[in-house]
């Protein structure tokens, strides 16, 4: 049995039809031929964009020459009302300064320090999970948000401010897709960018709430009473080059992207992982068996979850939370006998790369065992980028690969999941890869 694929469209449609499809959902607009192509060119009246699937090209852009291919401002513009000048949107020296301050908070040793907070969030998620027919994305969003608040600010999601931020993000998530026309059909720079009024208002409310959390923590730091969590670490770390710390406004920007990246992506991956476990009960039972190791709040339990980790990796392959990334060429290039003009958009797509027919064995099949095969290990090195790669690899990648398997195992330790008849989820690109009408599962206590 294969997981459902997004509907494909005819290879040849008008530009207007392209625009309609992209506005509805960019994943559904992808033709089958792109899952075999090494490189594809998209021509528009204003611009040319290039989808790059060949591993060597992806390596050139992300790992070998990242400064020559910065993030495209065009795609990030849609998120700027919420994320401001966060590390997700910046380039060049500003981005490098931000990473110098942020990265120490996510070093390997810190994972052990944050593990008790993740454990507490996974226990709370298991306790909240009801029996019967459940829309599981709502549950995983709640769990992932709880992890962020506990690890970042040492507060559970039940804290009044945390609850307010979570509910406001749910509103924002439904109103503002991260993937839009700019990925393939960039608008000219002189054309004004319009945001929905409710999107702007929601972003402003979220930033106001985050500002209260930052101010509260700043007061605790000043009083010498701040807990030793991620927020304290980031707010007190000085740039080793300039000696400066983040200003309160900069910290609001960074917290916004931590919540967006850490909460949205984990919630998406967990929901799809639970759906796949419902489709493949033999793998579900293997995860449940491993979950018996989760008896004590000890980081060492993670070494006892190898199958769960491979299940989560396979979920990230089939349903990468961020399905496409866009870079911009800062100088003329020549890739695969194509002349790429300065300013062109380069689309790097985990959604295509992870299902590429010329790279992966049985690319559309769900098979966690592939990661122990020669093909799986080779593709894991060269064609697997759920957290991006190179200098701009997600700071929280290691964090996510502890959080995801831990919560998945903890939920399946006590609860069995099965599909709901006639409720097959269709993946669409909102802030992350979500299901068009939710993911509905039957839940029953073991």
Structural domains in the chain, CATH included, are: 15-445 (1.10.630.10)
Question: What pLDDT score was predicted for residue 166?
Answer: 86
Helix (H, G, I), strand (E, B) or coil at 186: coil
pTM of structure? 0.90
CA 440/CA 435 separation, integer angstroms: 10
Question: What pLDDT score was predicted for residue 262?
Answer: 81
Report the Cα 217 to chain-centroid distance in Å.
Answer: 26
CA 305/CA 406 separation, integer angstroms: 8
CA 240/CA 347 separation, integer angstroms: 33
CA 264/CA 262 separation, integer angstroms: 6
Give, to the nearest 10 degrees, the angle between helix 306-318 and helix 397-414: 110
Query: Among 437, 369, 79, 97, which Cα is nearest to 247's?
Result: 97
- Are the C-beta atoms of 418 and 391 separated by less than 8 Å? no
Dig out the tokens for 114 from the structure: 């944050």
Q: Is 404 left (phi over 0), alpha (psi -120 to 50) or beta?
A: alpha
pLDDT tens series, the chain, 446 aa: 556 555 554 455 555 555 555 555 566 666 788 899 999 988 766 677 899 999 999 999 999 999 999 988 766 666 788 888 999 889 999 999 999 999 998 887 788 899 999 999 999 999 999 999 999 999 999 999 999 999 999 999 988 989 998 888 877 776 655 444 444 445 555 444 445 567 788 889 999 999 999 999 999 999 999 999 999 999 999 999 999 999 999 999 999 998 888 888 999 999 999 999 999 999 999 999 999 988 888 999 999 999 999 999 999 999 999 888 889 999 999 999 999 999 898 999 999 999 999 999 999 999 999 999 999 999 999 999 999 999 999 988 999 999 999 999 999 999 999 999 989 898 887 778 888 889 999 999 98
- Partnered with residue 40 across adjacent β-strands are 51
Residues 6+ apart with CB under 8 A from 342: 329, 330, 331, 332
Query: Among 123, 115, 127, 125, which Cα is nearest to 151's?
Result: 115
Helices (H) and strands (E) in the chain, counts: 17, 11
Question: What pLDDT score was predicted for residue 202?
Answer: 85
Question: What pLDDT score was predicted for residue 356?
Answer: 96
Residue with tokens 């710390």: 245
- Are the C-beta atoms of 419 and 279 separated by less than 8 Å? yes
Q: Is 92 left (phi over 0), alpha (psi -120 to 50) or beta?
A: left
Question: What pLDDT score was predicted for residue 43?
Answer: 76
DSSP letters spanning 122-150: HHHHHHHPPSEEEEHHHHHHHHHHHHHHH
Query: Among 296, 347, 360, which Cα is nearest to 48's?
Result: 347
- Are the C-beta atoms of 41 and 48 separated by less than 8 Å? yes
Report the Cα 151 to chain-centroid distance in Å.
Answer: 18
Query: Among 345, 277, 352, 267, which Cα is nearest to 308's?
Result: 277
Question: What pLDDT score was predicted for residue 150?
Answer: 96
Question: What pLDDT score was predicted for residue 357?
Answer: 94
- Partnered with residue 440 across adjacent β-strands are 135
């Amino acid at each position: 049995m294969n997981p459902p694929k997004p509907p494909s469209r005819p290879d040849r449609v008008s530009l207007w039809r392209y625009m309609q499809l992209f506005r509805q959902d960019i994943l559904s607009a992808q033709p089958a031929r792109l899952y075999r192509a090494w490189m594809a060119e998209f021509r528009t009246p204003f611009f040319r964009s290039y989808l790059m699937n060949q591993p060597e090209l992806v390596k050139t852009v992300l790992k070998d020459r990242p400064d020559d291919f910065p993030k495209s401002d065009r795609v990030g513009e849609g998120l700027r009302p919420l994320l401001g000048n966060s590390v997700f949107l910046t380039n060049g020296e500003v981005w490098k300064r931000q990473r110098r301050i942020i990265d120490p908070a996510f070093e390997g040793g810190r994972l052990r320090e944050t593990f008790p907070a993740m454990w507490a969030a996974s226990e709370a998620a298991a306790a909240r999970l009801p029996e019967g027919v459940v829309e599981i994305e709502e549950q995983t969003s709640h769990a992932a948000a709880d992890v962020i608040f506990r690890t970042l600010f040492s507060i559970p999601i039940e804290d009044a401010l945390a609850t307010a931020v979570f509910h406001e993000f749910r509103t924002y998530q439904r109103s503002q897709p991260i993937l839009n026309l700019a990925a393939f059909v960039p608008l000219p720079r002189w054309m004004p960018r319009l945001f929905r009024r409710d999107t702007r208002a929601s972003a402003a409310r979220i930033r106001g709430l985050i500002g209260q959390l930052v101010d509260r923590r700043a007061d605790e730091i000043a009083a010498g009473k701040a807990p030793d969590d991620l927020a304290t670490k980031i707010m007190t770390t000085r740039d080793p080059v300039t000696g400066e710390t983040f200003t309160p406004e900069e910290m609001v920007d960074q917290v916004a992207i931590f919540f967006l990246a850490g909460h949205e992506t984990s919630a998406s991956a967990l929901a799809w992982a639970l759906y796949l476990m419902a489709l493949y009960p033999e793998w579900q039972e293997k995860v449940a068996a491993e979950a018996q190791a989760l008896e004590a709040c000890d980081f060492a339990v993670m070494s006892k979850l190898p199958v769960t980790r491979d299940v989560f990796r396979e979920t990230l392959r089939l349903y990468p939370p961020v399905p496409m990334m866009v870079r911009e060429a800062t100088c003329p290039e020549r890739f695969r006998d194509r002349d790429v003009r300065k300013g062109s958009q380069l689309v790097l797509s985990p959604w295509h790369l992870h299902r590429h027919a010329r790279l992966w064995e049985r690319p559309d099949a769900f098979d966690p065992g592939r990661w122990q095969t020669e093909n799986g290990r080779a593709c894991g090195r060269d064609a697997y980028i759920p957290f991006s790669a190179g200098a701009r690899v997600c700071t929280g990648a290691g964090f996510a690969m502890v959080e995801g398997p831990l919560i998945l195992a903890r939920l399946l330790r006590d609860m069995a999941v099965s599909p709901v008849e006639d409720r097959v989820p269709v993946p669409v690109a909102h802030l992350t890869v979500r299901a068009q009408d939710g993911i509905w599962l039957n839940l029953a206590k073991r």
